[in-house]
Amino acid sequence: MTPGVAAPIAELSDRELLALHVAGDDHAFAELFRRHKDRMWAVALRTVRDPELAADCVQDGFIAAFRRAESFRGEAAVTTWLHRIVVNACLDRLRRRKPTTELPEYDLADRHDHYASTEVRLDIQEALAKLPEGQRAALVLVDMHAVPVAEAAVILGVAEGTIKSRCARGRAALAQHLGLTPGQRPAEHD
């Protein structure tokens, strides 16, 4: 690149875009949104299970990120920061809904063949509904989205050990709700 000539906005890093946004650039945040909206929507959809509610959560999250961009301290990746904001927007929306809010339908069939039947997935969804919010959020990120424990800790604003214990307790509670002993797989319904 020639000195003194600015790089096209699409070539800038997420951090550079966020810094430009904070400095008043009118296009930088739009590029961040374009890059990450689909991934954030996927996380929101898995968390709230309703496409319209997921879209609202993504909108809430990106508006919050737009307004609070100067609060980004650079201690984590911009995508981790955005994940945290969007997950928090999802949790806020779920808290405000009726207690009968359905949980996401987790497609565990992709990871484990023994979860392939609809009945088993519904049993698992029902069991997930019984978990405390913190355990459910940790399991969604770590087990459903394969987010590393360290990144999930940043997203949820807790220590790595807390994520590990929430996942372990959540998995144990799921097994108990499903009537399984440790290591046992759910049987397919006929």
Global model pTM greater than 0.75? no
Percent of the chain whose pLDDT exceeds 90: 35
pLDDT of residue 99: 47
The residue type at 188: E
pLDDT of residue 93: 86
60-64, 113-117, 175-179, range with greatest mean pLDDT: 60-64
Residue of 189 and 127 predicted with greater confidence: 127
CB atoms under 10 Å from CB of 140, counted, come to 22
Q: How far is CA 186 from CA 23, 135, 167, in A?
A: 54, 21, 19
Q: Which CATH class is domain 105-190?
A: mainly alpha
Q: Using an 8 Å Cβ cutoff, are 10 and 20 in contact? A: no
Number of H helices, E strands in the chain: 8, 0
Q: What angle do CA 153, 63, 68 make, to 5 degrees?
A: 65
Assess if CATH 1.10.1740.10 describes domain 9-102: yes
Domain ranges of the chain: 9-102, 105-190
Instruction: List pLDDT tens digits, range 97-137.
Output: 754 434 444 444 444 444 455 666 667 777 777 888 888 88
**Which positions ≥6 away from 141 have C-beta within 8 Å?**
43, 83, 87, 147, 151, 152, 155, 156
Residue 164: pLDDT over 90: yes
- Beta strand extents in the chain (DSSP E only): none
DSSP for residue 6: P
Q: How far is CA 184 from CA 68, 124, 172, 174, in A?
A: 46, 14, 11, 12
The residue type at 112: H
Structure tokens at 90: 């999802």
Instruction: List pLDDT tens digits, range 29-40.
Output: 999 999 999 999
